[in-house]
């Protein structure tokens, strides 16, 4: 699994990676303890290798926070091993082990869906993400999303394992080769389908376009971000914009949390940063909008506070107030209205405290002690769509971690507004030169395929890029370089099957495991009653 994971891995390994575990499970069906142990070792190895980049995270005092790596690796490995353990327990209670395999696939898909929805969400290693650097294999994700890729991996692994098990019993080498070639054929058949979809896909060449300018300021989030002055930041951004801006209308995009100063939502139109860029756009390009990441705040009194509000003392009013902080993206135009969207999918243990009532008495605020703040952020329950005022272009603003959530992103395009463009802003500099920023960028390619929309991605330290509807990277700026990208983006309002139906495979999977559970319980009750009746008759 580690050798197969993006970005340097070859995904062909994903189709054989679970064979040893499945094989061992077949011979340990009398020892659930060892099944749990071996599955935990398996998943711990995979998690450790594939998300090793998490160890680059630092605390607010600058020291490396190894727990930011160990905690998600341990817990995710444990959850995965519990799923496998439960499958093994069910399999021994059903007459046909094929039902057990169906249960495994259904349970795993349900687990991956849960990872997209619950407070401990960590869908980074959902199996379907494993093809992110080989998008020519997964053009059919526009129908299934990543869950289709997860099912594909399990079917091949289970099929090859069963082929080996059957050969061990009957020693029929011809039958073994026949079955192996069959499952290899499944791999190549899905790749062929993908390539046919790829060749058949055609964008509307006469549709609308938009001029987009992406900025990559390359500011170190640990050593520069909170020490550089706002004026210097504004000058840096203007210098990048000046190299390409014209009177022609365009969309300019800057990264996540670009400015260290927090902006009050109540007085957002009076804010100095907002005013500076409004005046700048009026002078340089009146029909242009500027999209950038900021931290927005709401100040209120005791009666209006919620559980995430933090108390502060206002020197000006000489009283206690409460503050809500949001990781947000704003759109600045020359008109009066400022549009904003708060991040909805927050990073567990960094931006939000999962199951706070349970964990807070045990851990305190240690979970939030990474990357510049120890305050829990607020979130938006109904994400906003940006309206590009002059041409009527509607934009889906995606902030960092949100881009990993397939159905969440597709919800922007499912709405009546007919959103035409995906903008992703992020800051992946927290993990330095590692696989983290590469994997994150490649996951955005999957979102482009699922929704068949262009992606304009602005990352603080990189990788900033343009991605087309087929998941191809058109142009990019390498990690650690300052610069800009300019491109004419094709827009479309078409809705893919995935946009319309989302993660429908998770619903089928949940229904399947419920049926198998009911069948297993009923079968075992019937079996026990039958034995008791038979014993009495004897």
Strands 464-467 and 473-477, sheet pairing:
antiparallel
Kindly report whether the global pTM for this prediction surpasses the value 0.85. yes
What is the 3 state secondary structure string of 254-319? CCCCCCCCEEECCCHHHCHHHHHHHHHHHHHCCCCEEEEEEEEEEEECHHHCCCCCEEEEECCCCE
Contact 102, 61 (CB under 8 A): no
Instruction: Give, for 101, the enclosing helix (H) or strand (E).
Output: helix 97-115
Instruction: Give, for 102, the enclosing helix (H) or strand (E).
Output: helix 97-115
Contact 57, 47 (CB under 8 A): no
pLDDT at residue 459 greater than cutoff 50: yes
pLDDT at 389: 66
Residue 388: φ, ψ to 5°: -80, 100
Write down the residue that tokens 């994400």 correspond to: 383
pLDDT at residue 364 greater than cutoff 70: no
Residues in a beta bridge with 293: 329
pLDDT at 216: 96
Tokens matching residue 167: 């050969």
How far from the centroid of its chain's Cα atoms is residue 301's Cα?
35
Average pLDDT over every residue of 518-533: 79
Lowest mean pLDDT among 25-34, 122-131, 187-196: 25-34
CA distance 399 to 96: 46
Contact 360, 367 (CB under 8 A): no
With cut-offs at 50, 70 and 90, classify the pLDDT of residue 62. low
With cut-offs at 50, 70 and 90, classify the pLDDT of residue 194. very high
- What secondary structure letter does DSSP report for 503? S
- What secondary structure letter does DSSP report for 18? T
Task: Measure the CA dihedral 484/407/294/467, to 10°.
Answer: 0
Phi-psi region of 434 (alpha: psi -120 to 50; beta: other; left: phi over 0): beta
Percent of all residues in the chain with a pLDDT value above 70, rounded to a whole number = 89
Average pLDDT over every residue of 509-518: 94
Tokens matching residue 224: 């520069």
3-state helix, strand, coil in the chain (%, to 5): 50, 20, 35
Tokens matching residue 78: 């444990």
Say if residue 456 is exposed, middle or buried (CB neighbours under 10 Å; 0-12, 13-18, 19+). buried
Helical axes 32-50 vs 67-91, angle rounded to 10°: 140
Write down the residue that tokens 């995270």 correspond to: 57
Lowest mean pLDDT among 50-54, 69-73, 416-420, 456-460: 416-420
Tokens matching residue 211: 């001029």
Instruction: Give, for 178, the enclosing helix (H) or strand (E).
Output: helix 173-200
CA distance 333 to 285: 10
Contact 259, 232 (CB under 8 A): no
Cβ-based neighbours of 458, under 8 Å, separated by 6 or more: 214, 215, 216, 253, 254, 255, 423, 424, 425, 426, 464
Q: pLDDT digit string (tens) for 247-306?
A: 888 999 999 988 878 888 888 888 888 989 998 988 888 888 999 999 998 887 665 556
pLDDT at 10: 93
pLDDT at 524: 74
CA distance 334 to 281: 7
CA distance 360 to 365: 7
* Cβ neighbour number for residue 361 with a 10 Å cutoff: 8
**Closest by CA position to 214, among listed 24, 464, 16, 26:** 464
User: What average pLDDT does the structure give for the chain?
Assistant: 87
Residue 507 or 388, more confident = 507
* Cβ neighbour number for residue 70 with a 10 Å cutoff: 13
**Closest by CA position to 263, among listed 219, 298, 314, 289:** 298
Strands 386-388 and 464-467, sheet pairing:
unpaired
CA-based R_g, the chain, Å: 26
> Could you give the C-alpha distances from 414 to 393, 395, 493, 501, in angstroms and in order?
16, 13, 10, 9
With cut-offs at 50, 70 and 90, classify the pLDDT of residue 169. confident
Helical axes 67-91 vs 504-537, angle rounded to 10°: 40
CA distance 398 to 342: 9
pLDDT at 400: 94
pLDDT at residue 308 greater than cutoff 90: no
With cut-offs at 50, 70 and 90, classify the pLDDT of residue 69. confident
Average pLDDT over every residue of 469-487: 95
CA distance 418 to 440: 26
**Closest by CA position to 459, among listed 232, 218, 124, 251:** 218
Contact 44, 73 (CB under 8 A): yes
pLDDT at 534: 76
CA distance 72 to 127: 16
Average pLDDT over every residue of 439-449: 97
With cut-offs at 50, 70 and 90, classify the pLDDT of residue 226. low
- What secondary structure letter does DSSP report for 226? T
CA distance 47 to 469: 30
CA distance 445 to 402: 14
């Amino acid at each position: 699994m580690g050798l197969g994971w993006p970005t340097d891995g070859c995904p062909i390994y994903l189709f054989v990676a679970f064979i040893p575990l499945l094989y061992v499970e077949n011979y340990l069906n009398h020892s659930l303890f060892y099944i749990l142990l071996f599955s935990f070792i398996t998943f711990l190895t995979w998690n450790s290798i594939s998300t090793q980049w998490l160890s680059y995270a630092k605390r607010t005092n600058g020291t490396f926070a190894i727990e930011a790596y160990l905690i998600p690796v341990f817990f995710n490995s444990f959850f995965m091993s519990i799923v496998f353990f439960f499958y093994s327990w069910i399999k021994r209670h059903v007459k046909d082990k094929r039902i057990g395999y169906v249960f495994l696939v259904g349970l795993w898909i349900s687990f991956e869906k849960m990872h997209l929805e619950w407070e401990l969400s960590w869908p980074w290693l959902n199996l379907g993400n494993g093809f992110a650097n080989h998008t020519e294999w997964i053009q059919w994700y526009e129908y299934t999303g990543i869950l289709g890729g997860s099912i594909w991996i399990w079917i091949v692994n289970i099929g090859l394992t069963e082929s080996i098990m059957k050969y061990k019993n009957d020693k029929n080498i011809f039958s073994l080769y026949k079955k192996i070639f069959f499952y290899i054929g499944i791999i190549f058949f899905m790749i062929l389908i993908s390539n046919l979809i790829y060749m058949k896909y055609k964008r509307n060449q006469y549709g609308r376009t938009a001029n987009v300018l992406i900025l990559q300021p390359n500011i170190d989030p640990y050593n520069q971000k909170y020490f550089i002055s706002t004026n210097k930041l504004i000058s840096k951004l203007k210098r990048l914009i000046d190299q390409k801006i014209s009177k022609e209308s365009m969309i300019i995009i800057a990264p996540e949390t670009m400015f260290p100063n927090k902006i009050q939502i109540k007085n957002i139109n009076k804010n100095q940063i907002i005013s500076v860029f409004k005046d700048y756009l009026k002078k340089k390009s009146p029909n242009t909008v500027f999209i950038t990441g900021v931290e927005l705040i709401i100040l209120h009194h005791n009666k209006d506070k919620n559980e995430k509000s933090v108390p502060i003392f206002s020197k000006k009013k000489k009283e206690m107030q409460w503050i809500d902080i949001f990781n947000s993206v704003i759109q600045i135009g020359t008109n009066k209205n400022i549009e904003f969207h708060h991040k909805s999918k927050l990073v567990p243990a960094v931006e939000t405290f999962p199951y706070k009532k349970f964990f807070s008495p045990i851990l305190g605020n240690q979970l939030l002690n990474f990357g510049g703040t120890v305050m829990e952020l607020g979130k938006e329950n109904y994400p906003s769509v940006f309206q590009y005022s002059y041409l009527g272009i509607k934009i889906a603003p995606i902030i960092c971690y949100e881009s990993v959530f397939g159905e969440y992103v597709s919800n922007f395009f499912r709405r009546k507004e007919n959103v035409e463009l995906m903008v992703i802003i992020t800051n992946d500099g927290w993990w330095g030169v590692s696989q983290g920023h590469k994997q994150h960028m490649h996951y955005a390619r999957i979102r482009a395929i699922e929704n068949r929309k262009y992606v304009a991605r602005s990352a603080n330290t990189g990788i900033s890029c343009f991605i087309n509807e087929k998941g191809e990277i058109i142009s990019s700026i390498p990690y650690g370089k300052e610069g800009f990208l300019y491109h004419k983006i094709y827009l479309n309002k078409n809705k893919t099957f995935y946009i319309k139906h989302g993660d429908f495979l998770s619903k089928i999977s949940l229904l399947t495991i419920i049926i198998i559970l009911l069948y297993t319980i009923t079968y075992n009750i019937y079996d026990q009653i039958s034995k008791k009746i038979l014993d009495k008759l004897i």
